[in-house]
Amino acid sequence: MTEKMIAVATVDESNHARASTLKKQYDFLGEDLARRGIKIDDVLKKVSTFGVAVPSWGVGTGGTRFARFPGGGEPRDVFDKIEDCAVIQQLTQATPTVSLHIPWDKADPKRLKQSASRFGLGFDAMNSNTFSDQKVQKHSYKFGSLTHSDKATRKQAVDHNLECIEIGKELGSKALTVWIGDGSNFPGQQNFADTFTRYLDAMKEIYAELPDDWRLFSEHKMYEPAFYSTVVQDWGTNYMIAKELGEKAFCLVDLGHHAPNVNIEMIVSRLAQFGKLGGFHFNDSKYGDDDLDAGSIDPYRLFLVFNELVDAENKLKNFHAAHMLDQSHNVTDPIESLMLSAIEVQRAYAQALLVDRKALLHFQESNDALMATQCLKAAFRTDVEPILAMARLNQGGAIDTVAAYRASGYRAKVAKERPPSGAGGGGIV
């Protein structure tokens, strides 16, 4: 029996007030879907097994490069973070794993494992950090890490990644995500080719130590912190990396890491088609790498991404994309944002499952652009909330996650135990 952070009676009470309405809504939607040739229970089954990992750094209040305004009861360490993640999983039943960032979350692996298994949580991909300097660190990453001009700095960055693999092995993680901030701020500051060669050489050293059942994810990002050139800047470079490294190397797509208006769903399709789509960092953006809540700005784009994923799932053997949230919560309670974001991602998946793919293919083959796009819209417009809520209810989660969470008084309770963290530090933490 796994421990619960929120009293089961609180969740039950919240659900009790909503269960009979939900049942009616579910049955009504079931009839509607049956008319469209879809069995609602099949969709429910798939949605119930869908999981998205929560980033440990997401449960603390984020910030901008101007300031950070901490919230109450913020986690003091990785063990508090795991407890917050347990709340998210308990109420959503959609976030069974936690993704750790080293060295932020460095602790005795045995204790980490114990702490997570108390709540039935597992560990997703390990994330290395060579984009900031730690207190005890010989060489600075100010001018780069894996691509630094200095060999000893590169070695330090490689060693850090190897350490992440070692910790991950003890935790039962099966992937390492590498994102570097390396790049330049001025034309001429770096030689593009030499820098990329150094990157590939360093990644090959990391890849060589990767266990056989692990995957290596490289994450591209167009700009920031480097504002002129970034070494791993787009999906093309990322594809070259994954191809160069080998069959355990894949590209990770963070939805906020592209130029405005880029057709991300098409990138997803390309990478999937050629066997190099590793997974996602879900979030949303209005202008750049805003790290806003998934589905908060452009839910249709999220749906279109999932439309490609479901298509790939249907067509490709052994297709498996890792799902993770990567967001920064500046003005909301991170637990509430992460719960709703996990549900938004799940929603996009459920809607994508409703696409009439036979009809879509027919419209595509007959060049009926209008009906093809309406086919997608029909799925997107379907309110699948009853399916998502039923999946939560069946698994012990909350029909209305935020209502149950607020009724529990969790934030106020932990605020008493966890002293406020300083507001001094700027930047995203």
The residues of the shown chain that bind Mn ion, judged by CB under 5 A, are 254, 281, 326
Closest C-alpha to 285, from 304, 298, 267? 298
Closer CB to Mn ion, 290 or 400, in the complex: 290
CB of 121 to Mn ion, least distance (A): 20
Burial-class residue 93 by CB neighbours within 10 Å (0-12, 13-18, 19+): buried
CB of 294 to Mn ion, least distance (A): 12
Closer CB to Mn ion, 81 or 281, in the complex: 281
Instruction: Tell me how long the chain is.
Output: 429
Rounded Cα distance, 297 and 289, in Å: 13
Residue 19: Cβ within 10 Å count: 14
Burial-class residue 180 by CB neighbours within 10 Å (0-12, 13-18, 19+): buried
Closer CB to Mn ion, 98 or 391, in the complex: 98
Closer CB to Mn ion, 125 or 249, in the complex: 125
What's at 260, amino acid-wise? Answer: P
Rounded Cα distance, 180 and 160, in Å: 12
Closer CB to Mn ion, 203 or 399, in the complex: 203
Rounded Cα distance, 348 and 352, in Å: 6
CB of 336 to Mn ion, least distance (A): 21
Closer CB to Mn ion, 105 or 326, in the complex: 326
CB of 248 to Mn ion, least distance (A): 20
- At residue 131, φ and ψ (nearest 5 deg) are -105, 0
Closer CB to Mn ion, 254 or 308, in the complex: 254
* Structure tokens, 405: 């969470």
CB of 255 to Mn ion, least distance (A): 9
Rounded Cα distance, 353 and 332, in Å: 30
CA 226 to chain centre: 23
CB of 131 to Mn ion, least distance (A): 11
* Structure tokens, 126: 């390990």
* Buried-exposed string 38-75: b where 16+ CB fall within 10 A, e elsewhere: bebeebbebbbebbbbbbbbbbbbbbeeeebebbebbb
* Structure tokens, 132: 């900031």
CB of 291 to Mn ion, least distance (A): 8
Question: Cα–Cα distances in Å, from 178 out to 76, 93, 401?
Answer: 25, 28, 32
Closer CB to Mn ion, 311 or 326, in the complex: 326
CB of 222 to Mn ion, least distance (A): 12
CB of 219 to Mn ion, least distance (A): 6
Closer CB to Mn ion, 258 or 281, in the complex: 281
